[in-house]
Structure 1
Amino acid sequence: MNAAPAGPGPDFDPGSAYRCSPQVALRPEPFGALVYHFGTRKLSFLKTPQLVEVVKGLEHHPDVHSAVAAADVEESQRPAYLRALAGLAASGTIEPNPAP
């Protein structure tokens, strides 16, 4: 049996406001950014400058879809970005924004 492609996680709602966690530091790099979470002490990567732009812009938009659109992510790439953002939410890199 083939599994269906994974969509955004059940706890991630791209129709809601998110922000980069205050416990996270982003260090810009030519490929995107290094991400360090001070709470978990985990180092990870954002693999494109455009994804960095989306993550940094989240707090300025009423929902994830608006942040993705504002970063000029091509329509065909948006499902991949939503999956990446769902992963970032699951790891605590981004979190719901209590005051959008």
Structure 2
Amino acid sequence: MLDPDRPYRCSPSVALRPETFGALAYHFGTRRLSFLKTPALVELVTTLDEYADIRTALTASLIPTAEHGVYLAALDALADAGTIEPR
């Protein structure tokens, strides 16, 4: 389960391929493919390691506060897939 008060990063085993809708994330270890469905989510995932925790990363992003819950759910799914991981 994702803990938004902890620091996370994009897994080094993941490659992101930019797409018009956002990005495809391929995990070389699990061979799972995930879809990052918005450019804002791609930006959030790629900059997670610059912040003390996920909440700080969300606050620093251009994502409206009202949408933070949606992005936390997306990050939770990406954590389950191994796309992002605690650091």
Alignment match of 1:65 (pick from 52, 55, 62): 55
**Large movers: runs of 4+ above 3 Å:** none
1:20 to 10, 32, 36: 10
5+ long unaligned stretches in structure 2: none
Amino acid at match of 2:17: R
For 1:25 and 1:67, locate their aligned partners in 2 and report how far apart those are by CA, in whole Å.
21
Of structures 1 and 2, the larger Rg is shown by 1
TM-score normalised over the length of structure 1: 0.84
Q: How does 1:1-100 map to 2 (within 5 A)?
A: 11-97=1-87
* Structure with more helix by fraction: 2
Q: TM-score, with normalisation over the residues of structure 2?
A: 0.96
Q: Please state how far the C-alpha of 1:92 moved relative to its aligned partner.
A: 0.5
Distance 1:38 1:70 in 2: 30
Aligned partner of 1:6 in structure 2 is none
Q: CA RMSD in A?
A: 0.7
Aligned residue pairs total 87
The separation in 2 between residues aligned to 1:44 and 1:90, in whole angstroms, is: 11
Cα deviation per residue 1:20-72 (whole Å; 9 max; x = unaligned)? 00000001111100110000111121000000000001000000011112221
Q: Tell me the distance in 1 between the aligned counterparts of 2:23 and 2:41.
A: 9
List alignment gaps of at least 5 residues for structure 1.
Answer: 1-10
- Measure, in 2, the Cα distance between the counterparts of 1:25 and 1:90: 16
